[in-house]
Amino acid sequence: MIKAVIIDDQPENRDYLRTQLADYTDRIELTGEAGSVAAGIALIGYAKPGLIFLDVELGDGSGFDLLEAVPEFSGRVIFVTAFERYAVRAFRANAIDYLLKPVGTAELEEAIARVMHSRTEDEPLYRKALQNAALQRADQLPLQNIVISSLQGKEMIASSNISFIEADNTYSVVYLADGSKITASRPLLEFQEILDDQRFFRVHRSYLINVKHLKRFQARESCAQLVSGQTVPVSRRKAAAFSSFIRETFTAR
């Protein structure tokens, strides 16, 4: 028996999952629910669950924010979300599974079975296989188009054409693959939130790069060289995570 909690900001989603979990009372003991990051942190603190069913987009933050706030949590996480684009990030956060809403009976059964057997020596191999599958799906996602507001007006840009983005106070400078650039009236953090995190990585507080345009990462010099020939600094505290991101992204292809 494993204690579990549900953290989702939509009451109807919590109701739906709670109803499904009623079929697994021999394995899962549901000990609480929360509808926000803040409430979820408190719930984990006193319920001490071994399993969290976690939504990605919560009203006061994200499921990833919640996990960062509870480093002492050593249990399992099953992400339950409507968004496929967070899959790679979820597995990097050591999720045991990633389920898309509405969750089917077979998918939930498989996820719970993995949790119950997750202490076996096969778990790391299984988790890596799931992450690789998510990375492969990322290549098959339709191109994401975003609207960039600048002094010249609004422009529709394919995210695949963005090489990197540089912060400029409350503005951002978007560098495109053809060498042109656009000064956008949007801070870098907003670009990070809307762009696909399976392709873009925040390497520095002032830079967000599209790894599809990466030529090489020079760890000793703490910089990333892009296909365009431009060089972007990589902060030392982000270097290890960026190196891992590159390795996982390109070795899975």
| Domains of the chain, start order | 2-140 (3.40.50.2300), 145-251 (2.40.50.1020)
- Specify the pLDDT at position 243: 86
Contact between 63 and 7 (Cβ < 8 Å): yes
Contact between 232 and 207 (Cβ < 8 Å): yes
Q: How many CB atoms lie within 10 A of CB 67?
A: 21
Higher pLDDT, 230 or 132: 230
- Give the DSSP H/E element, type plus range, for residue 65: helix 63-69
pLDDT digit string (tens) for 92-149? 777 888 888 888 888 899 889 888 876 554 555 555 555 555 455 444 444 567 778 8
Burial class (CB within 10 angstroms; exposed 0-12, middle 13-18, buried 19+) of 239: middle
Contact between 186 and 170 (Cβ < 8 Å): no
Higher pLDDT, 247 or 29: 29
